[in-house]
C-alpha cells in the first residue's frame, strides 16, 4: 500500500487530489450515513427506478421519458460511485475481465495487494471526476512505457456500461433491467502507437457499450450493421454542397448576430467569458441551422441544455428533458423541414432526417440527445481554445485578422458563400493546430476489438490482445507526442508542417474528407469518424471570421497569468491550469470557480478575455495599407507597436498589462 501510495503521489500529486489521509478519513466517515444522507440515497434510488421504467417504456412503446440520465446523475449523492468497488473488483477478477492487465505495461504491475488495486481504481475514478484522466494516463505512459507518450499501456478503469446499445427490433424481448446502466471494472488498453492507433480505429468499428446514456444512437450502437444504416441515412444532412451550402445563410445570419451580441457584452469594457459565449453560439448554430428550430425555442433552451450536460451547479431539473420534448416535436411535426432529396428548399435537415429515418423511437431519442451535446460542446470548446491561443499569441492573432479583413474586402460587400470559405489559409492552420493541441474530443474513440489484434509492447515485442478487449484510441497522447510533432509539441504553432491530409479545409473539392493521419485524428478515423465535422468546419469559419474581423482578444485576469505558460500532457496536478475533460469533451479550466478540490465538486470550464473592437486598429492600419498586397503590407509597415516590458509585441490592448504577472505595455514607435 505504502509503495503504491508513493507511486500514486508521485504520479498524481495524490494529496492535492483529495486522496490525502485526511480526505480518506472524511470519505470513510461518510460511510456511516446520517439520516439526511439515507433519505437522499433512498430518494435517488426511487429516481433511478423511474428512469429505468421510463427508458424501458421508450424502448418498448416509444413513449418519451420525462427525464434524461444527465438529470438523474445531477441528483446523485456524493461518494455513491465509490461504494461497492471491492465487490466489483472481485466480480471482474472472477469473470476474467481484467486478464488484459497483464499483457501490456501499466500501473497494475505495481499493485501487489487488494488495497493497492482498490487505490488504483479510486485514482482512476477520481481522475474521471476531476476531468484529468487523460493526464493520468499520460503520466502512466511516461512511467511504465518505454516510448513515452507513444507507448501502448493498459490501465484498470471504472466504467458505466449499458446492456442495450444494439438495434431495438420488435422481436427483441426486453426487461426493465436491460435499461439499467451498470458500473463495472475493466482493463482498458490505451492505444498510443500511431500505426496501431490508425489500424485499430479503421478496422475495429465496434464501439464499447459506454454511451448507454445515448441509447442505441449512431455514436453508441455496438451493432455495426445498425450503425451503418443510421450513418447512411443521417449523412445526407451533412453533405457539403447539397445540404450545408444551402443552410449556410441561416448559419451566416447567426454568425453576424453573434458578433453584434459580443459587441454588446463587451461594451462597458468588462471581460467576457468566451467559453460560455462560444458554447452558446455553437448551440444556437446547431438548433437554428441544422435542426430548423425557431429562434425563441433556441434562446429559451440554450443555457439549460448546456448547464445540464456540464453538470453545472445551477442546472435545473427538467431543462434538458423539456428541451428534448420540444425539439422532438419540431422534428416530428414541422412540415416545412427539408433534406436535399425532398426536392424542396433545404431547412433543418437534421430534424428532417430524424423524421424520415424509420428507426426505433429510442434511436431517434438517443440521436437528438447526442446531437444536442456533440453538436455544440465540441465546436464551442474548439473555438474557445483557438481564441485563447490567439490572445496568447498577438502576432498570430494579427495574421488572422489581416486574412479575414482581406477576405471581407474581396467580397466587396456581398455575403460569403460556402465556396468562399476555401479562401482561408491562416485560419485553417489555426483551427487545425487547435484541434491538435486542445482536441475537444481528447478521449478519441472507445472500441471493443472484433477479433484478436497484435499491438506493440515495450522494447521490440508485440502482444496479442484477445477479441472483446476494450481499447481507447486516445487523441490526447498522440497529438502531444514530441516524437511525432517535434520538441514544441506542447506549444501552439500553426506554421508547423502539417501533412496535406491533416489540414482542414472547407468549400473546395476535397473539403469533405476527414482530416486524419496516424498521428492526428481530432474527428476520429474513417469510417467511424465524426458525422458533423463538415458542419463544424463551416460554422467555425463563419463565427471566427466575423469575430476576428470586428474584435481583438486579450487574456483577462486571472487568465493573464497564463500568457507564457505551457501545459504539459502529463501534468496531473489538479490545480494547474488544464483542459477539463469530463462528460466526453475537453474545455478550459475555470480559474475562478474550479480551484477547490473535493470529491463531489466538478471542475467547471470558463475563459475570460478582454474584447475590444478592431475599428481603431483597422483605421490605423488603413492609413498604412496599399490597396493590393494586403497580406504582407500590414505586418511589415507597422510604424509602432505595443511592446511589453519583456520586449514582446502585445497587440492592441495588451496595453492594460497585468498586476499579477508584472507585465506592462507601452506604445513604441518604430
Whole-angstrom Cα distance, residue 538 to residue 515? 14
- Is residue 445 part of the contact set for ligand HEM (CB under 6 A)? yes
- Is residue 162 part of the contact set for ligand HEM (CB under 6 A)? no
- Is residue 583 part of the contact set for ligand HEM (CB under 6 A)? no
Nearer residue to ligand HEM within complex by CB, 119 or 254: 254
- The window from 415-423, 437-445, 496-504, 650-658 that contacts ligand HEM (CB under 6 A) reads 437-445
Q: How would you class 297 by CB atoms within 10 Å of its CB: exposed for 0-12, middle for 13-18, buried for 19 or more? A: middle
- The window from 398-406, 489-497, 521-529, 592-600 that contacts ligand HEM (CB under 6 A) reads 521-529
- Sorted by sequence, the CB contacts under 8 Å of residue 397 that are 6+ apart come out as 390, 391, 548, 552, 553, 651
**Which residue of 298, 371, 538, 609 would you call a contact of ligand HEM, by CB under 6 A?**
371
Whole-angstrom Cα distance, residue 208 to residue 469? 9
Whole-angstrom Cα distance, residue 49 to residue 54? 9
- Is residue 231 part of the contact set for ligand HEM (CB under 6 A)? yes
Question: Which grid coordinates belong to 598?
Answer: 473535493
The DSSP 8-state label assigned to residue 102 in this structure reads G
Number of other residues whose CB lies within 10 A of the CB of residue 165: 23
- Sorted by sequence, the CB contacts under 8 Å of residue 591 that are 6+ apart come out as 558, 559, 577, 606
Minimal CB distance residue for ligand HEM: 532
Nearer residue to ligand HEM within complex by CB, 59 or 479: 479
Beta-bridged to residue 453, according to DSSP, are 465
Please state the closest distance from residue 489 (CB atom) to ligand HEM, in A.
Answer: 19
Question: Which grid coordinates belong to 444?
Answer: 478519441
- Sorted by sequence, the CB contacts under 8 Å of residue 326 that are 6+ apart come out as 297, 301
- By rule CB under 6 A, what string of x and - marks binding of each residue 191-220 to ligand HEM? ---------------------------xx-
**Which residue of 355, 382, 516, 545 would you call a contact of ligand HEM, by CB under 6 A?**
382
Whole-angstrom Cα distance, residue 110 to residue 114? 11
- Cα separations (Å) of 340 from 96, 235, 346, 417? 50, 11, 6, 18
- Is residue 524 part of the contact set for ligand HEM (CB under 6 A)? yes
Please state the closest distance from residue 374 (CB atom) to ligand HEM, in A.
Answer: 4
- Is residue 374 part of the contact set for ligand HEM (CB under 6 A)? yes
- Look up cell 434524461; give the residue: 68
Nearer residue to ligand HEM within complex by CB, 88 or 474: 474
Q: Buried b vs exposed e over 452-469: b needs ≥16 C-beta within 10 Å?
A: ebebbbeeeeebebeeeb
- The window from 44-52, 82-90, 292-300, 443-451 that contacts ligand HEM (CB under 6 A) reads 443-451
Nearer residue to ligand HEM within complex by CB, 506 or 652: 506
**Which residue of 528, 550, 608, 621 would you call a contact of ligand HEM, by CB under 6 A?**
528
Size of the site for ligand HEM (CB under 6 A): 27
**DSSP notation for 36-94:** HHHHHHHHHHHHHHHHHHHHHHHHHH-PPPS--HHHHHHTPPTTTTTTTHHHHHHHHHH
Whether the link from the prior residue into 527 is cis, omega within 30° of 0, is yes
- Is residue 523 part of the contact set for ligand HEM (CB under 6 A)? yes
Question: Which grid coordinates belong to 590?
Answer: 475555470
- Sorted by sequence, the CB contacts under 8 Å of residue 475 that are 6+ apart come out as 439, 441, 442, 443, 444, 521, 522
- By rule CB under 6 A, what string of x and - marks binding of each residue 109-138 to ligand HEM? ------------------------------
**Which residue of 441, 471, 484, 597 would you call a contact of ligand HEM, by CB under 6 A?**
441
Nearer residue to ligand HEM within complex by CB, 463 or 543: 543
**Which residue of 308, 378, 472, 572 would you call a contact of ligand HEM, by CB under 6 A?**
378
- The window from 15-23, 523-531, 549-557, 607-615 that contacts ligand HEM (CB under 6 A) reads 523-531
- What H or E segment, with its residue span, contains residue 140? helix 133-144
The DSSP 8-state label assigned to residue 602 in this structure reads P
- Is residue 7 part of the contact set for ligand HEM (CB under 6 A)? no
Q: Which of 252, 217, 219, 233 is nearest to 350 (CA)?
A: 233
**Which residue of 375, 507, 579, 657 would you call a contact of ligand HEM, by CB under 6 A?**
375
Helix residue ranges per DSSP H, 266-393: 274-285, 295-309, 319-333, 349-356, 361-374, 377-392
- Is residue 331 part of the contact set for ligand HEM (CB under 6 A)? no
- Is residue 440 part of the contact set for ligand HEM (CB under 6 A)? yes
Please state the closest distance from residue 528 (CB atom) to ligand HEM, in A.
Answer: 5
Nearer residue to ligand HEM within complex by CB, 382 or 552: 382
Nearer residue to ligand HEM within complex by CB, 438 or 642: 438
Please state the closest distance from residue 85 (CB atom) to ligand HEM, in A.
Answer: 25
Nearer residue to ligand HEM within complex by CB, 445 or 567: 445
- The window from 125-133, 294-302, 532-540, 623-631 that contacts ligand HEM (CB under 6 A) reads 532-540
Q: Is 530 annotated as a binding residue?
A: yes
- Is residue 290 part of the contact set for ligand HEM (CB under 6 A)? yes
Q: Are 278 and 384 in contact (CB under 8 A)?
A: yes
Angle between helices 394-411 and 533-550 (to 10 degrees): 100
- Sorted by sequence, the CB contacts under 8 Å of residue 72 that are 6+ apart come out as 47, 48, 51
Please state the closest distance from residue 147 (CB atom) to ligand HEM, in A.
Answer: 23
Q: What is the end-to-end Cα distance of the chain in Å, rounded?
A: 63
Please state the closest distance from residue 349 (CB atom) to ligand HEM, in A.
Answer: 11
Whole-angstrom Cα distance, residue 600 to residue 458? 37
Please state the closest distance from residue 602 (CB atom) to ligand HEM, in A.
Answer: 21
- The window from 393-401, 529-537, 628-636, 640-648 that contacts ligand HEM (CB under 6 A) reads 529-537
- The window from 152-160, 370-378, 384-392, 453-461 that contacts ligand HEM (CB under 6 A) reads 370-378
Please state the closest distance from residue 181 (CB atom) to ligand HEM, in A.
Answer: 17
**Which residue of 346, 421, 530, 542 would you call a contact of ligand HEM, by CB under 6 A?**
530
Please state the closest distance from residue 282 (CB atom) to ligand HEM, in A.
Answer: 7
Known binding site for heme: residues? 530
Known binding site: residues? 530
Binding site for ligand HEM (CB under 6 A): 218-219, 231, 286, 290, 370-371, 374-375, 378-379, 382, 440-441, 444-446, 522-524, 528, 530-533, 535-536
Amino acid at each position: 500500500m505504502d509503495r503504491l501510495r508513493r507511486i500514486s503521489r508521485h504520479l498524481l500529486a495524490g494529496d492535492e487530489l483529495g486522496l490525502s489521509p485526511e480526505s480518506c478519513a472524511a470519505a470513510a466517515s461518510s460511510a456511516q450515513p446520517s439520516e439526511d444522507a439515507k433519505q437522499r440515497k433512498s430518494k435517488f434510488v426511487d429516481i433511478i427506478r423511474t428512469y429505468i421504467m421510463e427508458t424501458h417504456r421508450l424502448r418498448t412503446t416509444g413513449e418519451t421519458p420525462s427525464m434524461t440520465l444527465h438529470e438523474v446523475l445531477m441528483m446523485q449523492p456524493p461518494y455513491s460511485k465509490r461504494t461497492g468497488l471491492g465487490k466489483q473488483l472481485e466480480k471482474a477478477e472472477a469473470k476474467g475481465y481484467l486478464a488484459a492487465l497483464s499483457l501490456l505495461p501499466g500501473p497494475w504491475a505495481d499493485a501487489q495487494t487488494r488495497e493497492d488495486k482498490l487505490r488504483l481504481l479510486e485514482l482512476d475514478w477520481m481522475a474521471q471526476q476531476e476531468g484529468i484522466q487523460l493526464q493520468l494516463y499520460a503520466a502512466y505512459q511516461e512511467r511504465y512505457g518505454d516510448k513515452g507518450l507513444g507507448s501502448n499501456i493498459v490501465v484498470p478503469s471504472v466504467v458505466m456500461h449499458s446492456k442495450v446499445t444494439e438495434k431495438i427490433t420488435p422481436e427483441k424481448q426486453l426487461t426493465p433491467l436491460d435499461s439499467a446502466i451498470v458500473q463495472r471494472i475493466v482493463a482498458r488498453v490505451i492505444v498510443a502507437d500511431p500505426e496501431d492507433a490508425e489500424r485499430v480505429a479503421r478496422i475495429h468499428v465496434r464501439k464499447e457499450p459506454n454511451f448507454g446514456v445515448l441509447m442505441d444512437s449512431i455514436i453508441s450502437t455496438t451493432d455495426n450493421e445498425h450503425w451503418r444504416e443510421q450513418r447512411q441515412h443521417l449523412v445526407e444532412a451533412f453533405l457539403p454542397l447539397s445540404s450545408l451550402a444551402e443552410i449556410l445563410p441561416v448559419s451566416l445570419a447567426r454568425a453576424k448576430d453573434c458578433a453584434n451580441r459580443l459587441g454588446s457584452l463587451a461594451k462597458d469594457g468588462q471581460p467576457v467569458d468566451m467559453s460560455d459565449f462560444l458554447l452558446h453560439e455553437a448551440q444556437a448554430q446547431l438548433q437554428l441551422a441544422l435542426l430548423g428550430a425557431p429562434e425563441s425555442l433556441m434562446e429559451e433552451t440554450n443555457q439549460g441544455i448546456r448547464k445540464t450536460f456540464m453538470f453545472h451547479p445551477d442546472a435545473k431539473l427538467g431543462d434538458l428533458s423539456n428541451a428534448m420534448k420540444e425539439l422532438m416535436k419540431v422534428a416530428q411535426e414541422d412540415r416545412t423541414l427539408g433534406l436535399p432529396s425532398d426536392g424542396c428548399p433545404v431547412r433543418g435537415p437534421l430534424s428532417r432526417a430524424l423524421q424520415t429515418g424509420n428507426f426505433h423511437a429510442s434511436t431517434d431519442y438517443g440521436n437528438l440527445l447526442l446531437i444536442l451535446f456533440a453538436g455544440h460542446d465540441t465546436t464551442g470548446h474548439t473555438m474557445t481554445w483557438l481564441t485563447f491561443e490567439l490572445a496568447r499569441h498577438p502576432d498570430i492573432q494579427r495574421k488572422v485578422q489581416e486574412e479575414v479583413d482581406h477576405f471581407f474586402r474581396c467580397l466587396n460587400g456581398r455575403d460569403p458563400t460556402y465556396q468562399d470559405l476555401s479562401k482561408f489559409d491562416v485560419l485553417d492552420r489555426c483551427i487545425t493546430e487547435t484541434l491538435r493541441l486542445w482536441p475537444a474530443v481528447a478521449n478519441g474513440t472507445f472500441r471493443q476489438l472484433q477479433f484478436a489484434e497484435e499491438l506493440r509492447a515495450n522494447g521490440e515485442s508485440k502482444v496479442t490482445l484477445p477479441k472483446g478487449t476494450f481499447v481507447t484510441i486516445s487523441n490526447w497522447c498522440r497529438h502531444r507526442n514530441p516524437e511525432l510533432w517535434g520538441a514544441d509539441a506542447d506549444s501552439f504553432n500553426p506554421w508547423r508542417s502539417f501533412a496535406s491530409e491533416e489540414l482542414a479545409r472547407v468549400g473546395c473539392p476535397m473539403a469533405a474528407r476527414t482530416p486524419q493521419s496516424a498521428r492526428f485524428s481530432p474527428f476520429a478515423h474513417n469510417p467511424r469518424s465524426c458525422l458533423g465535422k463538415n458542419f463544424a468546419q463551416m460554422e467555425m469559419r463563419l463565427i471566427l471570421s466575423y469575430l476576428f474581423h470586428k474584435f481583438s482578444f486579450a487574456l483577462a485576469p486571472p487568465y493573464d497569468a497564463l500568457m507564457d505558460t505551457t501545459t504539459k500532457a502529463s501534468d496531473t496536478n489538479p490545480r494547474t491550469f488544464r483542459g477539463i475533460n469530463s462528460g466526453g469533451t475537453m474545455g478550459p479550466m475555470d480559474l475562478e470557480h474550479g480551484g477547490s478540490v473535493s470529491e463531489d465538486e466538478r471542475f467547471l470550464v470558463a475563459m475570460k478575455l478582454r474584447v475590444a473592437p478592431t475599428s481603431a486598429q483597422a483605421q490605423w492600419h488603413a492609413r498604412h495599407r496599399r490597396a493590393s498586397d494586403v497580406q504582407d503590407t500590414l505586418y511589415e509597415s507597422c510604424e509602432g507597436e505595443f511592446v511589453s516590458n519583456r520586449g514582446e509585441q502585445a497587440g492592441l490592448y495588451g496595453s492594460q498589462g497585468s498586476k499579477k504577472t508584472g507585465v506592462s505595455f507601452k506604445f513604441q514607435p518604430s
